[in-house]
Structure 1
Amino acid sequence: MNAGIQDAVDLAQILAAVIGDGAPEGALDAYERRRRPVAQDVVALTDRATRMATVHARPARAARNLVIGLVGRLPAVRYRIAYQVAELARPG
């Protein structure tokens, strides 16, 4: 949802600039170049999370649970995952 809100705000600003302030229509192309990678990141993250959540093999589930348990204890990792899931920013 945050990505959709970001899209709406960004697009509204660009449309206002193009329609109201006479900005070049190429600004709309720049919008697509800027926002498409964000949308692709959302799809990729969702795909990875779904594949991890739906692992059927018992050893793979055990490994997944172990890794998540260990990595989930690291504040920097939790912070980065939260930002990615919320689509609040694109950390470098």
Structure 2
Amino acid sequence: MEQDYKVYAKALKVLSDETRLKIIDLLGDGELCACDLLREFSITQPTLSYHMKTLCDSGLVVSRKDGSMVKYTIDHESLNALKTFFKHMSSGMPV
């Protein structure tokens, strides 16, 4: 149980950044390549790479190589676990 709190805390810390939160929102519409994400921000490619590594390391996003491109998607299992955690908190039920 205690380990779950560490996972949730890490995910929430990752999502506390405005850029990463927007990336999650954009990925909610489906898979995107790094070049598509970069067009949505006024940041450099190395900065985007840092944010994507942080999201992938947290387990919220999954990456895959497609030729020379890297494509990203939401890890729905991880996101659903976080949603379930919030549902339990709001219902007063133990996690």
TM-score, normalising length: structure 1:
0.30
For the pair shown, the structure with the greater C-alpha radius of gyration is: 1
Q: Return the structure number with greater relative CO, CA threshold 8 A, min gap 6.
A: 1
Higher-helix-fraction structure: 1
TM-score, normalising length: structure 2:
0.29
